[in-house]
Amino acid sequence: MKITLEEVRRIAGLAHIQSSDAGDEELELMRGQLDQVLAFVDKLNALDTRGVEPAIGVAEGMTGPLREDVPGATLAEEEALSNAPESGRGHFKVPRVIT
Amino acid sequence: MTDLARLGAGPLRDLFARGEASAVEIVRAHLDHLGRVEPRVEAFLSVMADAAQTRAVWLDRSRSSGEPAGALAGVPVAIKDVLCVRGAPTTCGSRILEGFRPPFDATCVKSLVDAGAVILGKTNMDEFAMGSSTEHSAFKRTRNPWDLERVPGGSSGGSAAAVAAREVPLAVGTDTGGSIRQPAAFTATVGLKPTYGRVSRYGLVAFASSLDQAGPIARTVRDAAMGLSAMAGHDPRDMTSSVEPVADYIGAAEGRGREIAGLRVGVPREFFGRGLDPEVAAGVRRCHDALAARGAEIVEVSLPATDFAIAAYYLVATAEASSNLARYDGVRYGFRDPHASTLKEMYGRTRQAGFGPEVKRRIMLGTYALSAGYYDAYYLKAMRARTLIRSDFARAFEKVDVLVGPTTPTPAFRLGEKLDDPLAMYLSDIYTVTANLSGVPAMSIPCGFTKAGLPIGCQILGRYFDEPTIFSVAAALESDLNVMKQAPPLAVDD
């Protein structure tokens, strides 16, 4: 077994995917599926990557040019807030932060 | 009157530009046809009939007043619901973005509209483009127009199905691990994943930023070239967008590009191993034969890291997704669970209720691969494998000009067949993920049908920014194989 139910709970906590509604059955299904995928990706261990640099950034030889550092048009406050589930006085509103 | 909904983007644009068909007529013909086939195909998440008709009236007025017609003037297009269209619902196939209306257009959408295209609607997709069948959409199941019991592929299944069913001549898809090419192969359409950086990602809702790329899906090679011509180019709003000059794709698609005689065509050995359906293999071999008959040199090449590509892909893509999808927290847009009393509880409940099972699985896998103690073994190892995959292509393209192989190991599978087996679904991307991991351009074109009448896709991969050679090869095969004129029965009998 690659991953335990306890680890699944911990990862769900890190990813903020959880609620008291998620029963053990749902978590066990997730555990089994993650286990299967992790067992599969373990085949990478058979690949010799000694001395190989990780492929960070866009493909070789491609560089993103930087734009001039001048301010451009931005969204108006009203537009930026127009999709918010809850807003007020020019801000996004959220439930209590400190408990 | 010609049935306008059977015509491609090129012919429609020319009829409009010559004044032989109005945009209003073109849009009405497509909306009528869409109304007849859509209940069976369900390719669209939203149809923008009113906006399309209003725009058609404007285009007609503009043409009568002597304005020059744009490169896509009067052409109806469909946009995958992962691309922002200002003021129009953009859900990414997810409950968590229900009700979201972007305050801006994706750059590639704006480019199409600037060229005169008319947006007919937004197409269905696997939630956040995570899937290979479009069954992971939170809203509906799209069916394959060639066989309604089968999937259209994914994640751009709605865009491919809409094009195949003649609802639109041209659609935009996005491809992170094969999401344009695999549905194109399953629906007998032409689908191109351009070179990474060729089309701006601004306004493309991110799944895996280092892999995502938008591209055209069409019924002819030339229509796909028209789509890419409109969308390609540098965009200062996307720092990974390239300044490489935009080439003449349409010329290449019309046969004015590279000669096929003398072209070196690579056959990647690893694409013809275990798991490849014999009918798919035979279809692709016909492409090799056709190119050889035109004087191309067929060369076997090896891409040894291919066997590790799916494993590397599902670590890199999920790691990036876990980070990109952190933004869906119920604060600024989309769905918020109304029952939470604290912020932390609101995050958890919103994401638990708003994301579907596949998205949760991938966020979990990516979070795990990036978490302390596992980063080196999983994420970093996958990124080293990615370097080896890039080196494979660099070596192969020293010897050959293009690679030609299958797009998918099998033709379209049945609805529900792989839904409960995530790994089996992942493995259907075996031949497509390497183009994303390396960034090279790749196209799927129809090359035949199985005995059961299911489309077979042939994949053409090229050097960085060498889309023109891909279009040249695709155009030659289109003309020699003569399979693209066929339409699914459903689109003919309606």
Q: Give B-chain residues touching A50 at CB under 8 angstroms.
A: none
Using DSSP's 3-state secondary structure scheme, residue B78 falls into strand
pLDDT (tens digit per residue) in B4-27: 999 999 999 999 999 999 999 999
Answer whether B246's CB lies under 8 Å from B232's CB. Answer: yes
Active site residue B80: yes
Answer whether B273's CB lies under 8 Å from B494's CB. Answer: no
Distance CA B405, CA B387 (A): 22
For B461-479, give the DSSP string: EESTT-HHHHHHHHHHHHH
Q: E strands along B48-138, which residues?
A: 76-80, 118-123
Q: Do A58 and B240 touch (CB under 8 A)?
A: yes
Flag whether pLDDT at A60 surpasses 60: no
Q: Report the DSSP beta bridge partners of residue A88.
A: A91
Q: Which of B84, B97, B104, B367 is best to mutate for the A interface (most A CBs within 10 A)?
A: B367
What was the pLDDT predicted at B56? 98
What was the pLDDT predicted at A24? 78
Distance CA B370, CA B375 (A): 5
Instruction: Tell me the percentage of chain A whose pLDDT exceeds 70.
Output: 87
- Work out the average pLDDT over A64-79: 86
Flag whether pLDDT at B396 surpasses 90: yes
Q: Do A18 and B100 touch (CB under 8 A)?
A: no
pLDDT (tens digit per residue) in B324-347: 999 999 999 999 999 999 999 999
Q: How many other β-carbons are positioned within 10 Å of the β-carbon of residue A64? A: 15
Using DSSP's 3-state secondary structure scheme, residue A88 falls into strand
What was the pLDDT predicted at A62? 61
Amino acid identity at A38: L
Write the DSSP symbol of residue B245: P
Residue B131 Rama label (left phi>0; alpha psi -120 to 50; beta): left
Measure CB to CB from residue A44 to each of B330, B363, B382 and give the nearest one. Answer: B382
pLDDT (tens digit per residue) in B351-375: 999 999 999 999 999 999 999 899 9
- Which stretch of DSSP H or E encloses residue B397? helix B381-399
Q: Which residue bears the tokens 């279809």?
A: B283
For chain A, how far is it from start to end, CA to CA, in angstroms? 37
How close does chain B come to A72, measured CA to CA in Å?
11
How close does chain B come to A59, measured CA to CA in Å?
6
Q: Do A36 and B368 touch (CB under 8 A)?
A: no
Q: Which residue bears the tokens 């007849």?
A: B36
- pTM, entire model: 0.97
Tokens matching residue B145: 């127009």
Flag whether pLDDT at A58 surpasses 80: no
Answer whether B291's CB lies under 8 Å from B265's CB. Answer: yes
Q: Do A16 and B315 touch (CB under 8 A)?
A: no
User: Which residue of chain B comes nearest to A50, CA vs CA?
Assistant: B384
Measure CB to CB from residue A11 to each of B241, B353, B371 and give the nearest one. Answer: B371
Active site residue B428: no
Tokens matching residue B44: 């669209």
User: Which residue of chain B comes nearest to A39, CA vs CA?
Assistant: B311
b/e burial code for range B328-364 (CB count within 10 A of at least 16 → b): bbbbbbbbbbeebeebebbbbbbbbbbbbbbbbbbbb
Distance CA B357, CA B349 (A): 14
Distance CA A63, CA A66 (A): 9
What was the pLDDT predicted at B371? 93
Q: Do B365 and A56 touch (CB under 8 A)?
A: no
Cα angle, residue B447 at apex, residues B441 and B451 outer, rounded to 5°: 140
Band (A61; pLDDT cuts 50, 70, 90): low
- Report ipTM for this prediction: 0.93
Distance CA A8, CA A34 (A): 9
Q: Do B351 and A54 touch (CB under 8 A)?
A: no
In degrees and rounded to multiples of 5, residue B144 shows phi and psi of -75, 120
Band (B492; pLDDT cuts 50, 70, 90): confident
Band (B1; pLDDT cuts 50, 70, 90): very low
Alpha carbon separation from B448 to B225, B462, B481 (Å, rounded): 21, 22, 8
Please give, one letter per residue, the 3-state secondary structure of B332-348: CCCCCCCCCCEHHHHHH
Catalytic residue among B22, B80, B111, B122: B80
Q: Which residue bears the tokens 């639109």?
A: B168
What was the pLDDT predicted at A88? 94
In degrees and rounded to multiples of 5, residue B484 shows phi and psi of -80, -15
Is the C-alpha dihedral spanning B5, B11, B12, B15 positive or negative? negative
Q: To 10 degrees, the CA torsion angle through A80, A15, B92, B436?
A: 110
pLDDT (tens digit per residue) in B440-469: 999 999 999 999 999 999 999 999 999 999
Q: Give A-chain residues touching B310 at CB under 8 angstroms.
A: 40
User: Which residue of chain A comes nearest to B384, CA vs CA?
Assistant: A54
Q: Do A16 and B341 touch (CB under 8 A)?
A: no
Instruction: Tell me what the pLDDT averaged over chain B comes to.
Output: 96
Q: Do B387 and A53 touch (CB under 8 A)?
A: yes
Write the DSSP symbol of residue A45: G
Q: Give B-chain residues touching A73 at CB under 8 angstroms.
A: none
Tokens matching residue B362: 């991938």
Q: Which of B213, B173, B142 lies closest to B80 in space, CA to CA?
A: B173
Catalytic residue among B22, B46, B159, B179: B179
Answer whether B247's CB lies under 8 Å from B468's CB. Answer: yes
Catalytic residue among B94, B132, B155, B156: B155
Cα atoms in the Cβ-side hemisphere of radius 13 Å centred on B71: 16
- The DSSP bridge pattern shows strands A87-88 and B44-47 to be unpaired
Band (B490; pLDDT cuts 50, 70, 90): confident
Measure CB to CB from residue A60 to each of B308, B378, B390 and give the nearest one. Answer: B390
Distance CA B389, CA B371 (A): 25
Please state the separation of Cα B133 from the chain's center in Å. Answer: 13
pLDDT (tens digit per residue) in B115-127: 999 999 999 999 9
pLDDT (tens digit per residue) in B404-439: 999 999 999 999 999 989 888 999 999 999 999 999
Q: Do B314 and A53 touch (CB under 8 A)?
A: no
Flag whether pLDDT at A19 surpasses 60: no
Tokens matching residue B243: 């300044």
Is the C-alpha dihedral spanning A6, A7, A13, A17 positive or negative? negative
pLDDT (tens digit per residue) in B101-112: 999 999 999 999
What was the pLDDT predicted at A56? 79
**Cβ-defined contacts of B85-92 (< 8 Å, 24+):** B85/B109, B85/B119, B85/B122, B88/B46, B88/B48, B88/B51, B88/B119, B88/B122, B89/B45, B89/B46, B89/B122, B90/B122, B90/B205, B91/B45, B91/B122, B91/B138, B91/B139, B92/B125, B92/B127, B92/B128, B92/B129, B92/B205
**Counts for chain A of helices (H) and strands (E), in that order:** 3, 2
